[in-house]
Structures are given as C-alpha cells and as structure tokens.
Amino acid sequence: MKVAYLGPHGSFSEEAAFKTFKNGEADWQLCDSILEVLEAVGDRKVEKGIVPIENSIEGTINITADGLLANNLFIEEEVVFPVSLKLLVNEGAKVSEIREVWSISPALAQCKDYIRKAAVKTKEFDSTSSAARALKEQGRLDAGAIASSAAARLFDLQIANNSVQDNGENHTRFIVVGKRSAEFLPFHKRDKIMLLIAPALDQSGVLSSILNVFSALSINLTWIESRPTKKRLGTYHFFLEAETGQDAERTSKALKILRAFGHEVQVLGSYNTTRL
C-alpha cells in the first residue's frame, strides 16, 4: 500500500506516519508540501495520505481543510500526536549568540513566546526537518532550528533547549485520507463524523440554527471551522466534527433535518481516534 506524507526525513509528519502504519505495511512516498500529499491521493498516485489538520496551540491548518475538498478525499482515521519542539544548533553554538531561528510557519507560531523573549528573527522553511538540514549544511553558529529530537539525531545537531513551545501540552491532530469511493460505505461503530455544511441562505442566525439541530439531538460537536466558499466574497461553508458515527440513528436524523432546511450537507469522514 502506497502512503504519502510530508517530508523530508526527520519531520513530525514522518514520525506520525511511521507510528500509524505497521512495519512493512506501507510503501512510503515523501512529499514537499501538505497540498502535494493530498493531490497524490486525489490523483490516485498513492492509496492513502497522512496530513496534519489541527494543532492545539495554533489551531486549524487551513490548507488541509481546503485540500480535502479540492481533491474529493475522505477521512478514514484521526491520529493525535504529541509534539515537542526543540531548539537545535550546530556543535559549538551558544544559545546567547543565536540571532535567528528557522522552521516551518506553524512551528514558529507555536513558539511565539520564546521568539519574543529571545528577540530573534525568524526564517520560514517547508518543514521542521528542512530547516534542521539547512542549518547543518550551512554550519551557522548564530542560527538555530526549531524541530524534533529525531531531526537532531538525523542531522547530527545539538539540542540547545529541550522545549521552546508556548504550551507543554502541545498536540497535533493528523488525519489519514483516501480517495472517496463507494468502498467506504457503510460505516460501523465509528467515534466521529466530519461534515461540510453549506447554508441554504446567507442570513442572520443561520449558523445558530444549524448548531441547534445537533444540540437538540444531544450530539456533541468537537470542532467547528468556517472557510470561504471561494465563489463570492462573504460566503462561507462550515466544517463540523461531531462525536457520533455515520451509522448512528441520531446522525441520520441530524442529516435529514439539515437537508430538509435546504442546507447542502456532505460527509467528509466517519472515523475512530488513535492517540499516539
């Protein structure tokens, strides 16, 4: 089975991928961006992909949410992965002399307090591991990379600070996606469902009326995200994740009521959660 993930080697996505799929189960394909992972699945170059969709500090990764729709993908599994961001430096570098830190944008955003207190400049890379690799290749002693301990081992870098993230309880939520097809139906005994709801009318209180449907059926919502429809300025659709499977009776009722109100409802996934 071919599985795509965000590379290069030493990235958090690689760690999550290796822990999600059993040894020998996957034929790996490394991609340069999240969008490339999703497109590889959408174009059927690989069977599955694993990508981050949300971080407990920084929030939703919008390119993943939008890419799900653009490539007609289906969520098959959710994986919650603990993230520990570390400051990596070349041998001989002193923390007091670090003037610049490198990493991927979401990782830099998760370390705002450290960056502000250290009064250092930032430089963005495609991944945490690419920042670590560039640091090693350039041999800079006045720069550091925010990455994982795996990247430190891979590129022979020193860990100068064991935790530079704003919150010690830092987790990233990954999703395993496949190409939407009839084989995904039906679903049984799943923990969650992901929906995309396009309101029937752009009017005051429309989101509240949608949420009331779930409240009336005692369905707990765990994630709500609005994204522009990209059709007209000011128009949005909503991603909703709920603690109920697609096979549950109350889920069926909720979908029927929402569609009766004229809302467009698409099921983006029905899946279980794995905590690594």
DSSP SS3 for 238: strand
Domain with CATH 3.40.190.10 in the chain: 1-83+170-182, 86-161
49 bridge partner residues: 4, 177
Record: fold of 1-83+170-182: D-Maltodextrin-Binding Protein; domain 2 (3.40.190)
Name the band, by pLDDT with cuts 50, 70 and 90, for residue 175: very high
In single-letter form, the type of residue at position 63 comes to I
Query: Is 221 in contact with 194 (CB distance < 8 Å)?
Result: no
Region 150-161: what's the mean pLDDT? 95
265 contacts 197 by C-beta, under 8 angstroms: yes
Q: What is the pLDDT of residues 93-135, one digit of tens each?
A: 999 999 999 998 889 998 999 999 999 999 999 889 999 999 9
- Stretch 1-12: mean pLDDT: 89
The CATH superfamily holding the domain 86-161 is Periplasmic binding protein-like II (3.40.190.10)
In degrees to the nearest 10, what's the CA dihedral of 64, 70, 76, 81? -10
Please state, rounded to an integer, the average pLDDT across all residues of the chain. Answer: 91
Section 217-232 average pLDDT? 91
Give the residue range(s) of CATH 3.30.70.260 domains in the chain.
186-275
Q: How confident is the model at residue 137 (pLDDT cuts 50, 70, 90)?
A: very high
Q: Count of H helices and E strands in the chain?
A: 9, 15
What does the pLDDT average to over 211-217?
96
Confidence at residue 188, expressed as pLDDT on a 0 to 100 scale:
56
pLDDT at 257 over 70: yes
| CA separation for the pair 113, 155 (Å, rounded) | 26
Residue 139's contacts (CB-CB under 8 Å, 6 or more residues apart) are: 90
Lowest-pLDDT range of 47-56, 174-183, 259-268: 174-183
User: What is the CATH class of 186-275?
Assistant: alpha beta
pLDDT average, residue stretch 49-73: 91
- Which residue in this structure is represented by tokens 């991603």? 239
**Position 229 pLDDT exceeds 90:** no
With pLDDT > 90 as the criterion, what percentage of the chain qualifies? Answer: 70
**pLDDT attached to residue 55:** 86
pLDDT in tens, 192-206: 999 999 998 777 788
Query: What pLDDT is attached to residue 254?
Result: 95
> Of 127, 101, 114, 97, which Cα lies nearest the Cα of 34?
127
From 3, 30, 2, 24, select the one nearest 175 (Cα to Cα). 3
- Return the pLDDT at 181: 66
pLDDT tens per residue, range 176-194:
999 976 444 455 568 899 9
* pLDDT on residue 191: 87
Residue-level pLDDT at 241: 96
Instruction: Output the DSSP codes for 39-107.
Output: HHHHTTSSSEEEEEEEETTTEE-HHHHHHHHHTTEEEEEEEEEE---EEEE-TT--GGG--EEEEEHHH
